Every structure is written in structure tokens, then in C-alpha cells.
Structure 1
């Protein structure tokens, strides 16, 4: 394996330094092929025991969008209404049932979680959150813009979309091509010494 090369400034800008959370969307569709490519890229990010608990429901149809809008806080409604696609980024609370496939060198790994619901919940929420971050970066790599949201009624989303399953919503993420007219001035970030400690 060769030494990894540092990402160039354009790539850094596209992924993080100049990328923005979008509030308004251009009327440009996102294809099924793009959504498949997005997942195929995002799935390679690391998770503990390769547990990969993230599950994604891509909301595009008007019927599904109307249901989702009923669970979104009013301040986010226009974003959800106008985004070409809204991803419901969820986690599978029974993720451990897939461990024989995902972690084959330890086929009984699921036994660690099966009777320990608190550990299972902590593990799947943490790792689906990691995967959600990879998902956003993968979308940006493919030229898509993102608008991640936490302003929604989680119980309502679970009832509307995941009733009778082991899936639970983590966050929502609007996907498409952002309209620059909808951007706010960029908010500041903490400096290294405000956020980090070396011990």
C-alpha cells in the first residue's frame, strides 16, 4: 500500500472548508443512480465491529414527503418540502443480527448485544451517527449539497415510516443542489485551543 497523499485544497474545500449546510434548493432532480452511488461510497467508513447499523430511507414521492412534513418542525418545513430528496438516516436496533455477515471471523458476536438492549442502543446510535457523517461527506464528494436536520418529532417519524420494524430515526438530511440565495453568513467555529487538549 502506498503512502496516502494529502487532499488538495479544492477537495478540502468541497468536503469541509467551503461546503455549507443548505437551506434552499434548486429544482434539479437527484437520480436513483446518484443515491445508489452515494450509499456505495458511504458504506466503507469504519464502524465498531463493522456493525454498520445505518439504514437510509430516501423520501422523494409527494405522498411520503407529505407524511414526513407532518413530523417536521415548522422552521424546517420549507427545506423538506423543496429538497429534491430527503434522507431519513436511521439505525437498526437489531443490527447485531447482521454481524455473522459483517464480522464473519467472530460469528457469535451478536450474542454480545442480543440480551443487552442498553449496549445495543448505545452502539447502534453511535455508529449510525458516524455513518451519517460519512454519508454527508460522500454526498459532497459526488457534488451533492446537504442540509442535515434535527428539528423533527422522532417518535412521529418512527411511527410513520418504521412502525413494526427495528429501525429508528437518527436525523434527516436534505439532498440536492443548493440555491446560494438561501445561505446565511457562515457561522464561526471554535479555535483549536477552545476545543482541544493535548495531554
Structure 2
């Protein structure tokens, strides 16, 4: 990154080049995992990082189910698209990230100075859903970065039968699946060449 150095204001805390590489520039999406364990402590650390990242009204609508055992992962495999099931089968942990349709019931605790918001969302269902899915999706991205931050690899999967996953894990209908994330130690021998990224000139403008 030396020839692409980012100007940092003096005395402002920032990640080292190693930290930036871990989270962004050198991190890869795994196609296969090594047969190494992921501990409960690892998973707790991932959530502890994820929960501190910002959401609208501090709403925190994302929920996580960690499939830890082979039996639990096998329940998910039939609902994954062809090819994705192979990736998940090698992962020691598969996380299902979901949106809580009743997330607003926690708002009195999460944003106590706004005493009307919980009631507002109780009656404005479409707005509640739209903002909830947006913020839960935002949390999905934080979750991926948290997995990387603890030294593990994250393989997000959008190709799956949402109705099937919901029926398998959330039969009461309160939670709705958004993303599946494979978690583990990456098998670098299975990686393809890294795909290109769009240049700044194509994606960024200053006004």
C-alpha cells in the first residue's frame, strides 16, 4: 500500500498496514476451509465487535444463528444453491444472519431518550420493515468485517432458498434470513486469482 498511501491527519488513530490488509486489501473470500476448529470464544468475539457498529436509531435488528455441529449444518445444505452447499459443507461454522421483524420492541432500551419511536414503528409496519431490513443488512457487512478482524475467513452466500431456511430455523415467522456466512480458516490452495476492483475514477466523484 506504500504507493497508494492514504493521507491521515496527524495524531489520529488508524489501523496499521497489516490491519488494513487483514480487513480489506489482502483478505479473500474462501472457497474451501481447513479442518481447524472455530471456538465459541471466536464466535463471541465476532458478535462483540459487530454489535458496536452503528445502526439507525441504534436499532440493531440483525440476529445470528451459528450452526456449530455437522448435524446443524446438514439441515442448511439442502436450502443452498448448487456449489454453495459444497463451500458450506467444509466450513466449521455456518452463520445465518436474519432480520428480526419485531426489532422495534427493544427500542425503549436501545434509544431511551426517544419515547415515541417504539410506538411509531408498532403502527407503521412498512416503514419499520424497510428501515429494519436496511439496518440489518448494514450489520451483515459489519459481521463480515468482524470475522476478518478476529483472524478468520468469512464466505458470504446470497444464493439460498430463503423460505426454506426460514422454515427450517424460524418457523414462527419472527425472523427472516438475509445472508448465510461460512466461517473458518481459509484453505488458500482452493483460491482463484483475485478478481479486479473498479478504479476510483469510475466510482467516486467530488462535489
TM-score, normalisation: structure 2: 0.92
One of 5, 18, 41 as aligned partner of 1:10 = 18
Task: Determine if the alignment matches structure 1 residue 31 to structure 2 residue 39.
Answer: yes
SS at match of 1:74: coil
Which 5+ residue runs of structure 2 have no aligned equivalent? 1-10
1:165 CA displacement: 3.9
Task: Determine if the alignment matches structure 1 residue 131 to structure 2 residue 139.
Answer: yes
The whole-number CA distance in structure 2 between the counterparts of 1:23 and 1:121 is: 33
1:86/1:104 CA distance change after superposition, 3 Å = same
Aligned pair count reads 198
Task: Determine if the alignment matches structure 1 residue 71 to structure 2 residue 79.
Answer: yes
Following TM superposition, the consecutive aligned residue runs of length 4 or more in structure 1 with deviations greater than 4 angstroms are none
Match of 1:181 in 2: 189
Which 5+ residue runs of structure 1 have no aligned equivalent? none
The whole-number CA distance in structure 2 between the counterparts of 1:36 and 1:59 is: 14
Match of 1:114 in 2: 122
Instruction: Summarize deviations over 1:50-96 as a string: whole Å, max 9, x none.
Output: 00001000012222212100100111011111101000011101110
Instruction: Summarize deviations over 1:10-52 as a string: whole Å, max 9, x none.
Output: 1100000000111100000111111111101110000000000
Task: Determine if the alignment matches structure 1 residue 51 to structure 2 residue 59.
Answer: yes
The whole-number CA distance in structure 2 between the counterparts of 1:66 and 1:193 is: 45
Task: Determine if the alignment matches structure 1 residue 172 to structure 2 residue 171.
Answer: no
CA RMSD of aligned residues (A): 1.4
